[in-house]
């Protein structure tokens, strides 16, 4: 049983998705999905423990050994990502039943859970697999269910946002497919381990350069790197709240994982960062992303839009850490993957609670909520502080390591720019706080009650995690360090 | 040179045509058609790359020792299924958009959204 954990991680949610259709009753389906996601979480915890104590796990599907059959390979980085995805998914699902009652028509509730589990299975699959073509298949499983989930939004603009995401996402995925095809053409293998061995022999050829270019552009579309982020703000703003909370915390992270996996493990550091000017490109785009998206966030009228733009900015931080390409820089990126999932999960869920009570997420409707929904708004404040990077929150930890990495390299101007970016975060977080606490409640709106416990519980689980991992950083730092060291080939 | 790489030229031309349609067309259905052409070019690319000179179809038979590589064929079967699923979701969205906006022209949809704001 324990041997089969890597495949169970993916197959449990994948099989549970159609099973939802048999159960039929929305409440039952919710409970079933929650249990499924919980099991996936437990599996990922056990995988992480195995990896941390005994090293990389290799699982061959159907007993066909590695370069011929499909291999699932779990090392520190994979286990870390699996943990983030399944943990966020489980916590977000706690609030799902309450939230979708008001946002999705009743006859679609069961289908919502089917799509949610499929998307979860897709993301877990991308991370767990050690086969390049498998990555594409799982990517499409998670993306196709994502398009449908986004189109479930109440507003008709969700349809348009979903369509635009579909076009952009498919172009991205097809680019990745071309990249993988060219890699296969040059090496005759799809196994990642094997690719890593064979690619360096042919890196001087133009085909490999083209493969690399297609792959990187495709992944950057998926991870919403500025200026390829255009699909993200509308998709996040008009999707149902639960969907936004889940995707904001996980989907771009999976794409960043792919970027790290392919550039560091498969193409190799020397090819990715020395032969090509990738470092300069990513550093510039990352920094531009931080500033453009943060400034755009300041001018948004809808809180979901505001947080979505902030997500683009946070991707910028991760890319800056990645482009520094030292162990500390990569560690900062990995830490931010974890920390950003915690803060955005908490923030978007809290905004979902506001949506539940108020029925709108316009900034103007937040007026006076500080007194009417004190517990929810307190969660937004803590989440916001974490987003800024205030000490004692997780946001501080990742910013700290990012600064450390920049300074280690002697890149003082970059360090200063990162700090300036945080100042912009203060401005947009302040706009929510100002509306909630310092403005009079709207006269034309009935006073609202505090959000129900089904919302408060998951929101505060995530908020507590924000503070807990901001103080006790053992788990996140240890795993991120081990993962980044293994990517650089340094033995710990 | 050109004849020898005929398949690959077709791939590039189709890819560019498809990509251009996706970007330049404002009609949602035409965009999906463009996307299909774009994906088809990739299918042809995979299949061309599987061809081994003088190799036959990978079926065991007497007196034949050289076969084409069947793996890309299998891969592309999967990719075709994915492509169909994408088209289906895209068309379904187009139907819903037509219902909600009364149009499937990008410009008109955007104009209606801007009016609302």
For B33, the closest chain A residue by CA position comes to A167
For B99, the closest chain A residue by CA position comes to A156
Q: What pLDDT does A27 receive?
A: 87
Chain B contact present for A164, CB below 8 A = no
Chain A contact present for B43, CB below 8 A = no
Residues of chain B found within 8 Å of residue A131, distances taken between Cβ atoms: none
Alpha-carbon distance A310 to A233, whole Å?
9
Are A309 and A297 a contacting pair, CB within 8 Å?
yes
Q: What pLDDT does B1 receive?
A: 62
Count how many Cα atoms sit within 13 Å of the Cα of residue A23 in the half-sphere of its side chain.
Answer: 19
Q: How confident is the model at residue A490 (pLDDT cuts 50, 70, 90)?
A: low
Give the count of beta carbons closer than 10 Å to the beta carbon of residue A470: 24
Q: C-alpha angle with apex A289: B35 to A232, nearest 5 degrees?
A: 40
For B91-112, what is the mean pLDDT? 90
Q: Whose structure tokens read 């706690």? A: A94
Q: Is residue B75 part of a domain?
A: yes
**Dihedral of the alpha carbons of B36, A167, A360, A115, in degrees to the nearest 10:** 60
Chain B contact present for A67, CB below 8 A = no
Chain B contact present for A148, CB below 8 A = yes
Alpha helices in A368-473 (DSSP H): 369-372, 374-388, 394-408, 412-438, 453-471
Q: Is residue B49 part of a domain?
A: yes
Give the count of beta carbons closer than 10 Å to the beta carbon of residue B50: 19
Residues of chain B found within 8 Å of residue A174, distances taken between Cβ atoms: 38-39, 42
pLDDT per position as a tens digit, B65-80: 888 888 888 899 999 9
Domain count, chain B: 1
Q: Is residue B43 part of a domain?
A: yes
Query: Looking at the partner chain, which of A137, A144, A160 has a beta carbon nearest the beta carbon of B78?
Result: A137
Q: What pLDDT does B51 receive?
A: 82
Interface test with chain A among B5, B24, B69, B82, by most A beta carbons within 10 Å: B82
pTM of the model: 0.92
Domain ranges for chain A, please list them. Answer: 314-492
CB contact under 8 A, B97 and A160: yes
CATH code, domain carrying B10: 1.10.287.3510
Chain A contact present for B109, CB below 8 A = yes
Query: Looking at the partner chain, which of B46, B79, B113 has a beta carbon nearest the beta carbon of A160?
Result: B113
Interface test with chain A among B79, B107, B111, by most A beta carbons within 10 Å: B79
In three-state secondary structure terms, B111 is helix
Q: What pLDDT does A492 receive?
A: 40
Three-class SS of A11-39: HHHHHHHHHHHHHCCHHHHHHHHHHHHHH
Query: Looking at the partner chain, which of A140, A144, A177 has a beta carbon nearest the beta carbon of B42?
Result: A177
Alpha-carbon distance B14 to B107, whole Å?
26
For B112, the closest chain A residue by CA position comes to A157
Q: What pLDDT does A136 receive?
A: 93
Q: What pLDDT does A65 receive?
A: 81
CB-based burial, A183-219: b 16+ in 10 Å, e otherwise: bbbbbebbbbbbbbebbeeebeeeebeebbebbbbbb
Stretch (H or E) spanning B65: none
Residue A446 clears pLDDT 80, i.e. is over it: no
Q: Whose structure tokens read 């550093």? A: A283
**pLDDT top residue among B3 and A326:** A326
Burial class (CB in 10 A: 0-12, 13-18, 19+), A53: exposed
pLDDT per position as a tens digit, A77-100: 999 999 999 999 999 999 888 888
pLDDT per position as a tens digit, A244-293: 999 999 989 999 999 999 988 888 887 877 777 888 889 999 999 999 99
Mean of the per-residue pLDDT values for chain A? 89
Taking one residue from A and the other from B, the number of pairs with CB-CB distance under 8 angstroms is 68
Q: What pLDDT does B117 receive?
A: 59
Picking from A102, A84, A13, A8, the residue whose alpha carbon sits closest to that of residue A45 is: A84
Chain B contact present for A137, CB below 8 A = yes
CA dihedral sign, ordered A275, A279, A285, A289: positive
CB contact under 8 A, A167 and B22: yes
How near does any CA of chain B get to the CA of A140, in Å?
Answer: 7
User: ipTM of this model?
Assistant: 0.93
C-alpha of A124 from chain center = 12
pLDDT per position as a tens digit, A182-223: 999 888 888 888 888 888 888 788 888 899 999 999 999 998
Q: What pLDDT does A144 receive?
A: 94
pLDDT per position as a tens digit, A293-325: 999 999 998 999 999 999 999 999 999 998 888
Chain B contact present for A159, CB below 8 A = yes
Are A9 and A39 a contacting pair, CB within 8 Å?
no
> Which residue segment(s) compose the domain that B107 sits in?
6-116
CB contact under 8 A, A171 and B19: yes
Alpha-carbon distance A240 to A96, whole Å?
10
Q: Is residue B30 part of a domain?
A: yes
Q: Is residue B38 part of a domain?
A: yes
Are A114 and A18 a contacting pair, CB within 8 Å?
yes
Burial class (CB in 10 A: 0-12, 13-18, 19+), A335: buried
Q: Is residue B92 part of a domain?
A: yes
pLDDT per position as a tens digit, A384-420: 999 998 888 888 988 999 998 888 888 888 888 988 9
Q: What pLDDT does A291 receive?
A: 92
């Amino acid at each position: 049983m324990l041997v089969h954990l890597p495949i169970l991680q993916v197959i449990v949610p994948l099989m549970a998705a159609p099973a939802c259709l048999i159960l039929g009753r929305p409440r039952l389906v919710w409970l079933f999905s929650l249990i499924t996601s919980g099991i996936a979480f437990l599996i990922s915890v056990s995988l992480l423990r195995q990896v941390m104590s005994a090293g990389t796990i290799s699982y061959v599907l159907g007993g066909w050994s590695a370069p011929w059959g499909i291999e699932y390979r779990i090392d520190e980085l994979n286990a870390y990502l699996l943990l983030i995805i399944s943990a966020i998914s489980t916590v977000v699902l706690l609030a799902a039943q309450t939230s979708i009652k008001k946002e999705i028509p009743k006859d679609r509730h069961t289908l919502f859970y089917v799509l949610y589990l499929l998307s979860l299975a897709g993301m877990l699959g991308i991370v767990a697999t050690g086969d390049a073509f498998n990555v594409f298949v799982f990517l499409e499983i998670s993306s196709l269910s994502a398009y449908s989930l986004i189109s479930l939004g109440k507003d008709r603009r969700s349809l348009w946002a979903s369509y635009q995401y579909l076009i952009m996402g498919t172009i991205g995925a097809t680019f990745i497919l071309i990249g993988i095809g060219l890699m296969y053409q040059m090496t005759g293998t799809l196994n990642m381990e094997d690719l890593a061995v064979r690619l360096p022999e042919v890196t001087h050829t133009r085909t490999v350069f083209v493969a690399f270019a297609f792959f990187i552009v495709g992944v950057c579309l998926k991870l919403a790197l500025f200026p390829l982020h255009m699909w993200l703000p509308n998709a996040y703003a008009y999707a149902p709240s639960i969907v936004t909370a889940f995707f904001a915390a996980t989907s771009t992270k999976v794409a960043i994982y792919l970027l790290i996996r392919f550039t560091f493990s498969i193409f190799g550091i020397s090819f990715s960062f020395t032969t090509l000017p990738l470092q300069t490109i990513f550093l510039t785009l990352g920094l531009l992303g931080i500033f453009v998206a943060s400034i755009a966030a300041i001018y948004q009228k809808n809180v979901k839009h505001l947080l979505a733009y902030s997500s683009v900015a946070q991707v910028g931080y991760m890319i800056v850490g990645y482009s520094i390409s030292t162990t500390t820089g990569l560690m900062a990126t990995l830490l931010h993957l974890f920390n950003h999932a915690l803060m955005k999960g908490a923030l978007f869920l809290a905004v979902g609670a506001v949506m539940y009570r108020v029925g709108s997420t316009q900034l103007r409707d937040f007026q006076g909520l500080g007194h009417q929904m004190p517990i929810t708004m307190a969660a937004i404040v803590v989440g916001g502080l974490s987003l800024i990077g205030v000490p004692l929150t997780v946001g501080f930890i990742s910013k700290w390591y990012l600064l450390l990495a920049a300074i280690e390299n002697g890149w003082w101007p970059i360090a200063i720019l990162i700090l300036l970016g945080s100042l912009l975060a203060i401005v947009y977080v302040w706009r929510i706080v100002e509306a909630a606490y310092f403005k009079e409640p709207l006269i034309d709106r009935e006073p609202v009650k505090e959000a129900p416990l089904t919302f408060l519980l998951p929101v505060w689980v995530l908020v507590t995690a924000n503070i807990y991992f901001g103080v006790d950083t053992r788990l996140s730092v240890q795993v991120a360090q081990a993962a980044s060291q293994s990517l650089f080939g340094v033995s710990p | 040179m050109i004849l020898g790489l005929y398949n690959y030229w077709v791939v590039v031309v189709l890819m560019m045509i498809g990509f251009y349609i996706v970007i330049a067309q404002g009609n949602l259905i035409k965009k999906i058609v463009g996307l299909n052409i774009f994906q088809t070019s990739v299918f042809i690319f995979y299949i061309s790359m599987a061809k081994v000179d003088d190799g036959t179809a990978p079926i065991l038979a007497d007196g034949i020792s050289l076969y084409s590589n069947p793996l890309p064929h299998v891969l592309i079967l999967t990719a075709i299924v994915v492509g169909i699923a994408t088209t289906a979701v895209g068309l379904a969205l187009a139907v819903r958009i037509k219902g909600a906006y009364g149009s499937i022209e990008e410009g008109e949809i955007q104009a209606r959204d801007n009016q609302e704001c």
